[in-house]
Amino acid sequence: MIDLRPVGYIIGMLTSVLGLMMLIPAAVDLGYGAGHWLVFVESAVLTMTAGALLALASRDALKRTLSIQQSFVLTTAVWITLPFFGAIPLMLGAPHLNLTDAYFEAMSGLTTTGTTAIPKLDDLPPGVNLWRGLLQWLGGLGIIIVAMIFLPVMKVGGMQFFRSEGFDTLGKILPRAMDISSALIRIYVGLTIACVLVYMALGMTGFDAVMHALTTMSTGGFSNYDASFATYKGAPEYAASIFMALAAMPFIRFVQVLRGDVVPLWRDPQVRAFIRWMGYAIAIIVIYRMVRHEADFWPTLREVTFNVVSTFTGTGYASEDITKWGHLAFTVLIISGLIGGCTSSTACSVKVFRYLILLEAIKAQIQRLYSPHRLLKVHYDGRPVEDSVVNSVMAFFTLFILSYGVLIIGLTFTGLETETAMTAAWTSIANIGPAWGPEITGNGSVADFPETAKWLMSIAMCVGRLELMSVLVLILPRFWRS
Amino acid sequence: MIDLRPVGYIIGMLTSVLGLMMLIPAAVDLGYGAGHWLVFVESAVLTMTAGALLALASRDALKRTLSIQQSFVLTTAVWITLPFFGAIPLMLGAPHLNLTDAYFEAMSGLTTTGTTAIPKLDDLPPGVNLWRGLLQWLGGLGIIIVAMIFLPVMKVGGMQFFRSEGFDTLGKILPRAMDISSALIRIYVGLTIACVLVYMALGMTGFDAVMHALTTMSTGGFSNYDASFATYKGAPEYAASIFMALAAMPFIRFVQVLRGDVVPLWRDPQVRAFIRWMGYAIAIIVIYRMVRHEADFWPTLREVTFNVVSTFTGTGYASEDITKWGHLAFTVLIISGLIGGCTSSTACSVKVFRYLILLEAIKAQIQRLYSPHRLLKVHYDGRPVEDSVVNSVMAFFTLFILSYGVLIIGLTFTGLETETAMTAAWTSIANIGPAWGPEITGNGSVADFPETAKWLMSIAMCVGRLELMSVLVLILPRFWRS
Ligand SMILES: [K+]
Ligand SMILES: [K+]
């Protein structure tokens, strides 16, 4: 039987931190003179108390190691539990969501998905929008830590390839986690501040700059405007493109840059492929739109760059109605979202690294057909990739596609139109943000979806964000017995 | 360098046989008093001459063995070359197609896809429709032989799992092929005749019964009516369902049944899963339609059974406008088509066998996450599956999905709407038949598609039919050097 108390302790601590964070929107609402601040204080007290009680109750069990089983339970439990607490301020005051919508919104925040269940964002108290941004920012930070420290040891979807030396035993996870995390947090905070300053320099108000920097660096995509990023067309679109792209690059490389070594970032095959593939997508759509004489070159280039980077990185801001760009552009954007950014970033979906492995694996399989006696190894970044990694990546991709199919069926079951079900499944399993179809409201929200569809999407966002396998392992009865 | 003469010899012989077959529609047109018969005689002379010349030119090179390289070249070359000759009668006389449309139609026939490029079928000379049916019937027979004899030795997409004992060396392919082929042909002809008789007993005219039996047993789906199978609603739908399902089962099992052993057919895990999954799909759609109060139970059951079996087996007959059945039904049907029938049948797509392996492989991968030191083997039919087979299946599935994505982009590039591109890509890579969208004509044909789209689909039908890898291996330069 697994000892769940260390898991309980960590979740208790994280819940308390989340409660503490609620004081930020409380202060902001107070500063703006919005009477709404009390809601956040109440929620903060409630959340901190619950977190503290949970931590205290499981305190004596904490050793400084986590078993592999405990790590699996922990990651999933964090992303199931925290949205409940994150949802509290959204229920207690404006926008007065019910549990389904509030949980959906908080899950969409903490998984950096960015789909909203709120039909009107413009009139919300500033604290509520800030809280949505904070949820994404915290979720983004959490996922980088999980991707860098937990997934490689948990060997999820080929992530064991990124296991660093002397970091194999799970006993070392926690101290090492603290060490890496502090470097990560510095970089993440630093980039966020840089993003705020750039946004302000380009004309955003202070509040809007903070809000959008929080959701840019987390590739989350929440906005405080129903019009999303269309509120700030022009230069901010280019600035956002750069910061979104940075947010989707491997943060471990930024740690190295901070130590003065730029080469690993520049030489990283997934970074190169990521930039190259985004370039292709931009080029295809720009040429396509120019041929269709839709607009002049420069605005086209800007709009396309912004929307391609936004979809490729899984941020999901909108600055244009891309469904009006013609079918080719739409298809390229949908497929971009199914690729995603780099590992150990805030980006989601299948990710560039896995496609590079998959393409190599297919090539090796085809070569094996005519020279069956040669040993053909898959290579990545100049070093051979173990078969177990290749298998893991292929199983991940297969599982991703099958889950996507099952999710489409599930969402259609709830009564959604095919287009809506397909894009809503895409947006939730790959944590992107937008969806299209007749059930989507004017501001792009899923407010009118059936309750069941919202719960299905909440589950899919969580499962997709944690790379599928690490959640699905929990439903095997044998997991709990071993 | 590969000696292409043995390949040339076999293709020459097959071309001559195809030419000989053209005398059947010639005779039928003559019998019906259609002046069109001369077109088939001309085409037959042309084709037989070309085939004989090719065979003669490469005759002295024929040994009774084929190397693995030659086998790859042969299978692809057959499905690229024969459609050119099969297209001749469609160009010389009615329906006077251009090369693109005629090649498309012949490729759609020989790959048993069943998408038509002809905008009006009802008025065609009977010989032309019979020729379309014959192309599918011959294509279906060809593919069973390829699937049973070539693919296992070529190790394409995990098919090496079905390699029978003492049948490993390629040198033995040809004599053994003759041996198995004769049993296969007897079964295929026998089932086709049974199908003709049943169709006639249920009210079809002799011609219609032959036409539809040819395209039922090949899971091809061509019809001589613009209304497709809706011409014969009622009992024939049930009869067709049974024969389509039989055509999608492993023919090797029928060989065993013929030898008096029914157990292997009944115990075959892919047969059981295939029937079970079709049952689920039928049940879901029937319940869904009953809840929506669309029609009475018995007609609903009949229509749904027919259309599910037709899509699942990749036959592609239509008896109803399934897009009117609501989104859930449509989604279930689309996904059924992405599953497909059993191996060594005329069915296409990914196939049940591969999904069974994939599901086991994912389960094993997830179990490995928490018990990394246990050796977890994937099992199929009670015996362990080699890792190389599992890898091959996963690579096949990945390649299938990626090709599907690339094809959608490609078809969108030619100007098709998203819905059309998505269903046309689905229908061609999985050799199913129908497509939906504004560019599809009233009789479901692709006549109005851009030329490029038709060529893309022709290539995709060929690549999909030959299980992707066996064609793609030919584009690697190293293949030709080794
Ligand atoms: K997002
Ligand atoms: K078909």
Cα→Cα distances B205→A331, A378, B37, B133, B208, Å: 46, 58, 21, 15, 5
Q: Is the omega angle on the peptide bond into residue A89 within 30 degrees of 0, that is, cis?
A: no
What gap in Å lies between CA A41 and CA A25, rounded to an integer? 9
Cα→Cα distances A182→A175, A177, B423, Å: 11, 8, 50
Burial B136-169, CB ≥16 within 10 A → b, else e: bbbbbbbbbbbbbbbbbbbbbbbbbbbeeeeeee
CB contact under 8 A, A72 and B369: yes
Cα angle A125, A130, A135; round to 5: 130
Distance between A8 CA and the closest CA of chain B, angstroms: 20
Whether the CB-CB separation of B107 and B97 falls below 8 Å is answered with no
Q: What pLDDT score does A133 carry?
A: 96
Count CA atoms within 13 Å of residue A246 on its CB side: 20
Q: What pLDDT score does A174 carry?
A: 56
What gap in Å lies between CA B89 and CA B45, rounded to an integer? 11
Tell me the backbone φ, ψ of residue A427, rounded to 5 degrees. Answer: -70, -35
Whether the CB-CB separation of B243 and B217 falls below 8 Å is answered with yes
* Chain B (150-169) residues lying within 8 Å, Cβ to Cβ, of chain A: 154-156
| Per-residue DSSP letter, B325 | G
List the end-to-end C-alpha distance of chain A, in Å, as a whole number: 7
Ligand nearest to the CA of A140: 1
Contacts of A409 in chain B (CB under 8 A): 328, 331-332, 335
Interface test with A, best of B332, B394, B399 (most A CBs within 10 A): B394
What gap in Å lies between CA B448 and CA B454, rounded to an integer? 10
| Per-residue DSSP letter, B212 | H
User: What is the distance in A from the centroid of ligand 2 to the CA of A205?
Assistant: 59
Q: What pLDDT score does B64 carry?
A: 61
Whether the CB-CB separation of B216 and B195 falls below 8 Å is answered with yes
CB contact under 8 A, B473 and A327: no
* Per-range mean pLDDT, top range of A178-182, A427-431, B157-161: A427-431
Ligand nearest to the CA of B348: 2
**Which residue matches tokens 């107070």?**
A30
Q: Does position A445 have pLDDT exceeding 50, yes or no? A: yes
The residue ranges of DSSP E strands in A123-227, in sequence order, are none
Mean pLDDT of chain A: 89
| Cα dihedral across residues A216, A220, A223, A228: positive or negative | positive
**Residue A65's pLDDT band (cuts 50, 70, 90):** confident
Contacts of B479 (CB under 8 A, 6+ apart): A370, B69, B72, B473
Instruction: Please report, for chain A, the start and end positions of each structural domain, with discontinuous segments joined by +.
Output: 382-481
Structure-model confidence comparison of residues A264 and B104, the more confident one = B104
Query: The tokens of B81 are what?
Result: 């070359």
Distance between B328 CA and the closest CA of chain A, angstroms: 5
The arithmetic mean of pLDDT across residues A216-235, rounded, is 92
Type of residue found at B201? A
Query: The tokens of B465 are what?
Result: 């039919």
Q: Does position A1 have pLDDT exceeding 80, yes or no? A: no
Whether the CB-CB separation of A107 and A135 falls below 8 Å is answered with no
Q: Does position A375 have pLDDT exceeding 80, yes or no? A: no
Ramachandran assignment for B228, one of left (phi > 0), alpha (psi -120 to 50 degrees), beta (any other): left
What gap in Å lies between CA B29 and CA B226, rounded to an integer? 20
* Chain B (355-374) residues lying within 8 Å, Cβ to Cβ, of chain A: 358, 361-363, 365-372
| Number of CB atoms found within 10 A of residue B350's CB | 22
Cα angle A106, A107, A108; round to 5: 90
Type of residue found at B122? D
Q: Is the omega angle on the peptide bond into residue A126 within 30 degrees of 0, that is, cis?
A: no
Query: The tokens of A347 are what?
Result: 């980006």
What gap in Å lies between CA A18 and CA A79, rounded to an integer? 12
Contacts of B452 (CB under 8 A, 6+ apart): B413, B414
The β-bridge relationship of strands A379-380 and B379-380 is unpaired
Contacts of B470 in chain A (CB under 8 A): 369
What gap in Å lies between CA A316 and CA A212, rounded to an integer? 12
Cα→Cα distances A47→A43, A99, A107, A339, Å: 6, 16, 16, 37
CB nearest B418 (choices: A331, A387, A417): A331
What gap in Å lies between CA B364 and CA B360, rounded to an integer? 6
Say whether residue A473 is in contact with chain B using an 8 A CB cutoff: yes
User: What is the distance in A from the centroid of ligand 1 to the CA of B367?
Assistant: 30
Contacts of B336 (CB under 8 A, 6+ apart): B277, B278, B281, B308, B311, B312
For residue A361, give the nearest of A156, A153, A158, A147 by alpha carbon: A158
Q: Does position A392 have pLDDT exceeding 50, yes or no? A: yes
Distance between B20 CA and the closest CA of chain A, angstroms: 34
Q: Does position A167 have pLDDT exceeding 50, yes or no? A: no
Whether the CB-CB separation of A233 and A307 falls below 8 Å is answered with no
Contacts of B242 (CB under 8 A, 6+ apart): none
What gap in Å lies between CA B198 and CA B204, rounded to an integer? 9
What gap in Å lies between CA A339 and CA A362, rounded to an integer? 17
Q: What pLDDT score does B146 carry?
A: 86
Contacts of B443 (CB under 8 A, 6+ apart): B116, B119, B120, B121, B226, B227
**pLDDT tens sequence for chain B (482 residues):** 678 888 899 999 999 999 999 999 999 999 988 788 899 999 999 999 999 999 888 877 656 677 888 888 999 999 999 999 999 999 998 889 999 999 999 999 999 999 999 999 998 999 999 999 999 999 999 998 888 878 877 778 888 777 754 344 444 555 666 777 788 899 999 999 999 999 999 999 999 999 999 999 999 999 999 989 988 999 999 999 999 999 999 988 888 888 888 888 888 899 999 999 999 999 999 998 998 877 889 999 999 999 999 999 999 998 888 888 888 889 899 999 999 999 889 998 999 999 999 998 888 888 877 776 666 788 888 888 888 888 889 889 999 999 999 999 899 989 898 889 999 999 999 999 999 999 998 888 999 999 999 999 999 999 999 989 888 888 877 788 76
For residue A416, give the nearest of B469, B352, B331 by alpha carbon: B331
Distance between B197 CA and the closest CA of chain A, angstroms: 39
**If DSSP codes are grouped into helix, strand and coil, which group holds residue A115?**
coil
The β-bridge relationship of strands A383-384 and A379-380 is antiparallel
Contacts of B439 in chain A (CB under 8 A): none
Q: What pLDDT score does A156 carry?
A: 80
Write out the residues surrounding ion ligand 1, Cβ under 5 A.
Answer: A 114, 221, 314, 316, 433
**Residue A69's pLDDT band (cuts 50, 70, 90):** confident
Q: What pLDDT score does A164 carry?
A: 58
The arithmetic mean of pLDDT across residues A395-400, rounded, is 91
Say whether residue A273 is in contact with chain B using an 8 A CB cutoff: no
Type of residue found at B4? L
Q: Does position A168 have pLDDT exceeding 80, yes or no? A: no
Q: What pLDDT score does A285 carry?
A: 93
Q: What pLDDT score does A176 carry?
A: 64
| Number of CB atoms found within 10 A of residue B281's CB | 23
Furthest C-alpha separation in chain A: 75
**Residue A184's pLDDT band (cuts 50, 70, 90):** confident
For residue A320, give the nearest of A309, A306, A333, A334 by alpha carbon: A306
CB nearest B365 (choices: A369, A371, A392): A392
Q: What pLDDT score does A446 carry?
A: 94
Say whether residue A394 is in contact with chain B using an 8 A CB cutoff: yes
Answer yes or no: is B391 a known binding residue: no
User: What is the distance in A from the centroid of ligand 2 to the CA of B295?
Assistant: 28
Alpha helices in B166-268 (DSSP H): 173-201, 206-217, 235-247, 251-258, 263-267
**If DSSP codes are grouped into helix, strand and coil, which group holds residue B409?**
helix
Taking only the tens place, the pLDDT of each residue in A285-324 is 999 889 887 788 999 999 999 999 999 999 999 888 888 8
Say whether residue A255 is in contact with chain B using an 8 A CB cutoff: no
What gap in Å lies between CA A283 and CA B133, rounded to an integer? 44
Q: Which residue of B has its CA nearest to A359?
A: B399
CB contact under 8 A, A370 and B69: yes
Say whether residue B2 is in contact with chain A using an 8 A CB cutoff: no
What gap in Å lies between CA B441 and CA A208, rounded to an integer? 51
